[in-house]
Structure 1
Amino acid sequence: MAHIIVVGNEKGGSGKSTTSMHVATALVRMGHRVGALDLDLRQRTFGRYIENRLAFCASQGLTLPCPDYRELPEADTETLKPGENVYDHRLSTVVAALEPVSDFILIDCPGSHTRLSQVAHSLADTLITPLNDSFIDFDLLARIEPESGKILGPSVYSEMVWSARQLRAQAGLKPIDWIVLRNRLGAQQMHNKAKMGEALASLARRIGFRVAPGFSERVIFRELFPRGLTLLDLKDVGVGNLNLSNVAARQELRDLVKELRLPGVTADF
């Protein structure tokens, strides 16, 4: 069975597609077979990222490691079983096709609550939730008392993950390993940064996730997307001397892959 990695958060702009592309490409570079799905059927940022990569390689005569990206197949509603949801059918069909040829299947979810996202979370062996280091994003995980910072209770996204965990337990599947990534961390030790760290640590113990550092705010991520490149491709496309920011970003990716604790994976790339 392929190990399924879901990248999810119901808020846009948290770095889901950047995280998805870098994790998927890192795994391929380490020799793993990686299937890839984008469940944001409208924006398709992850899918467009991979399409950009293939187009750039074709135009430059390059061969760069790339995940096996698949579109969700269309479904003939007349062939559905009684009561079967069409989106469930489309997702299960493509996952079944990828499983025999993949060590990992990475699924990027939309920044909104959809049926596809719900089902994908119930399939997750590993769940990665990128989170901007802001209490605006934190509000998707939990509600807090503004003066004391006391956690009042889980919020909408945490409740959805809890439902997915219950479905997996009922099916006899192993628990989801949930990692929350603190993305766009500032370099300085600011008061808000410290308070976010305390709040996440408290919530992690309460609802069961691990906290890991993600990617700092860097211009290079915006520059890589049009060519479909990742931090790991820079030397392959002629960037001989990496600047300090690029070196630091590559180390962040190594640390992230190591922290995911995926089966059979080391951060050697």
Structure 2
Amino acid sequence: MAHIIVVGNEKGGSGKSTTSMHLATALVRMGHSVGCLDLDLRQQSFGRYVENRLAWLAKAGLDLPSPEFRQLPDIGGDHTADRRLGTAVEGLQDRNFILIDCPGSHTRLSQVAHAMADTLITPLNDSFVDFDLLARIDSDSAKILGPSVYSEMVWTARQARAQAGLKPIDWIVVRNRLGTQQMINKKKMGAALERLAKRIGFRVAPGFSERVIFRELFPRGLTLLDLKDTGVGGLNMSNIAARQEVRDLVKALNLPGVEVTF
């Protein structure tokens, strides 16, 4: 059975598609087979990323490891979220990993995907605006008042998996757009996440800093791991640091059978 990785957060702009593409590419470059699904049926940023990659590689005459992207199938007259997603996942079960990118909103497809997750990755901008999706916090004391909407959905998914006799979700909250200096907000966010992690059960991992290179690579469908093989741009100090961020994230996920070799 494939190990299912779900990248989810009910807020847009947190770096879900960038995280998904770099993780999927890292896995295939290390020799693992990866099937991909994008549940944002309107925007399809992750799907477009893979599509851009295949088109650019064909044009450049290059053959680089790439994840396999699938659209959700139409199933006769029955178009329910459960059936469509279940059928798509079933068709990818011979892969080592299935990576599912969820939309930045609450949908039935996203609910179903979260209940399927062996590993759940939640990219989070280093902001209390994003933190509010996980928990409500007192403005004066910084005391956590209780879980918020997204955490409640994850809890529901965990209950569904427990009732089905499946292993618990390994939930990792990934801190994206971290500042390069020890700013007050960064320290407060770190402390709040550590308190919440113990309370509702997730791990915290470092994500990606704010870098122009991530946006520049999208039209060609490339990742930082591809630069040395494509002749596109150079590995300056910023790009080397960003590549290290990808390596650190993959290590932190502790995925089964994955030994980081890039």
TM over 0.5: yes
1:243 to 236, 243, 262: 236
Q: Which is further off, 61-70 or 234-243?
A: 234-243
1:125-144, aligned counterparts within 5 Å?
125-144=118-137
**CA distance in structure 1 between the aligned counterparts of 2:32 and 2:191, rounded to whole angstroms:** 36
Amino acid in structure 2 at the alignment position of 1:173: L
**CA distance in structure 2 between the aligned counterparts of 1:241 and 1:3, rounded to whole angstroms:** 34
Residue 239 of structure 1 and its aligned partner are, at CA, apart by 4.6
In structure 2, the CA distance between the partners of 1:112 and 1:240, relative to structure 1 (3 Å rule), is closer
**CA distance in structure 1 between the aligned counterparts of 2:161 and 2:44, rounded to whole angstroms:** 27
**CA distance in structure 2 between the aligned counterparts of 1:34 and 1:240, rounded to whole angstroms:** 27
Correspondence for 1:42: 42
Residue 75 of structure 1 and its aligned partner are, at CA, apart by 1.9
Give the number of equivalent residue pairs. Answer: 262
Residue 64 of structure 1 and its aligned partner are, at CA, apart by 1.4
Correspondence for 1:177: 170
Structure 1, unaligned runs of 5 or more: none
3-state SS in 2 of match to 1:74: coil
Correspondence for 2:207: 214
Contact between 2:32 and 2:96, CA under 8 Å: does it hold in 1? yes
Correspondence for 2:13: 13
Q: Which is further off, 5-14 or 52-61?
A: 52-61
Contact between 1:255 and 1:267, CA under 8 Å: does it hold in 2? no
Residue 86 of structure 1 and its aligned partner are, at CA, apart by 1.1
User: Aligned pair 1:27/2:27, yes or no?
Assistant: yes
3-state SS in 1 of match to 2:91: helix
Correspondence for 2:58: 58
User: Aligned pair 1:150/2:143, yes or no?
Assistant: yes
User: Aligned pair 1:252/2:248, yes or no?
Assistant: no
3-state SS in 2 of match to 1:5: strand
Identity of aligned residues (%): 77
Correspondence for 1:232: 225
**CA distance in structure 1 between the aligned counterparts of 2:119 and 2:89, rounded to whole angstroms:** 15
3-state SS in 2 of match to 1:234: helix
TM score, norm. by length of structure 2 = 0.98
**CA distance in structure 1 between the aligned counterparts of 2:83 and 2:232, rounded to whole angstroms:** 44
RMSD of Structure 2 on Structure 1 (CA): 0.9
Residue 225 of structure 1 and its aligned partner are, at CA, apart by 0.2
User: Aligned pair 1:168/2:168, yes or no?
Assistant: no
Contact between 2:227 and 2:234, CA under 8 Å: does it hold in 1? no
Contact between 2:124 and 2:173, CA under 8 Å: does it hold in 1? yes
Contact between 1:8 and 1:109, CA under 8 Å: does it hold in 2? yes
**CA distance in structure 1 between the aligned counterparts of 2:107 and 2:166, rounded to whole angstroms:** 23
